[in-house]
């Protein structure tokens, strides 16, 4: 029986990764019992441990640290009480980390600030990465406050303007660009946070 148990343990160890703890014990009749439940009063040996998901999620800050403008974005996030991952997601969608990006409508820089918005935020040079990120983060925080920390609506307002969201009863406006933009930003934000693609925000 000991040989059989050893062989079974070897087979379990060599098999594909498990998604839960697995325990092995001997029943009263002498047969081997495998279970993912550790019942009191029985002698068990754990043969497979469930992967530590916390470790995988905790690795996400390293991913953000290695991204462009990580230090400037971290500073803007801290100054405006925002997740750095959200700013990264907006920057990726707006400019793909190009500090010199210009849109046909006149928006510029990493977070694509419009001239009027830049003046309102006190950003004199939208092509200066630090100033642009601080200004864009302040504006994003303003949108989050306006929409009660609803990230989807705040991101929609960042793209289409707050009036476009408010005038439609606080829903994502039906503009083709905004309907593409919002899921793109939220998908990247979830990825950088280590969340499932359908995880609630």
How many angstroms from the chain centroid is the CA of residue 33?
40
The residue whose two tokens read 């100033």 is: 131
Total number of residues shown for the chain: 201
Give per-residue burial for 51-87: e unless 16+ CB within 10 Å, then b.
Answer: eeeeeeeeeebeebeeeebeebbbbbbeebebebbbb
Please provide the DSSP assignment of 59-97 as one string. Answer: THHHHHHTSTTHHHHHHHHHHTT--HHHHHHHHHHHHTT
Q: Read off the DSSP letter of residue 17.
A: P
Judge contact between 132 and 123, C-beta under 8 A: yes
Judge contact between 50 and 21, C-beta under 8 A: yes
Q: Which of 71, 94, 152, 177 is catalytic?
A: 94
Report residue 139 as tokens.
């504006």
Active site residue 94: yes
Catalytic residues: 94
């Amino acid at each position: 029986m000991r040989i059989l148990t050893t062989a079974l343990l070897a087979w379990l160890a060599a098999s594909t990764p498990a998604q839960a703890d697995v325990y092995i014990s001997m029943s009263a009749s002498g047969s081997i019992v495998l279970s993912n439940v550790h019942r009191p009063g029985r002698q068990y040996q754990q043969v497979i441990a469930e992967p530590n998901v916390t470790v995988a999620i905790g690795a996400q800050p390293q991913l953000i640290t290695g991204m462009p403008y990580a230090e400037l974005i971290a500073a803007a996030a801290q100054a405006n009480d925002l997740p750095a991952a959200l700013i990264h997601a907006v920057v990726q969608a707006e400019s793909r980390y190009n500090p010199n990006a210009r849109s046909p409508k006149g928006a510029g820089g990493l977070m694509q600030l419009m001239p009027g918005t830049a003046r309102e935020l006190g950003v004199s040079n939208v092509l200066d990465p630090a100033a642009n990120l601080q200004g864009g983060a302040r504006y994003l925080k303003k949108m989050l406050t306006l929409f009660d920390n609803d990230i989807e609506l705040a991101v929609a307002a960042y793209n289409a303007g707050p009036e476009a969201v408010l005038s439609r009863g606080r829903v994502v406006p039906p503009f083709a660009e905004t309907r593409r933009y919002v899921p793109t930003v939220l998908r990247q934000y979830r990825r950088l946070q280590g969340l499932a693609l359908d995880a609630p925000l």
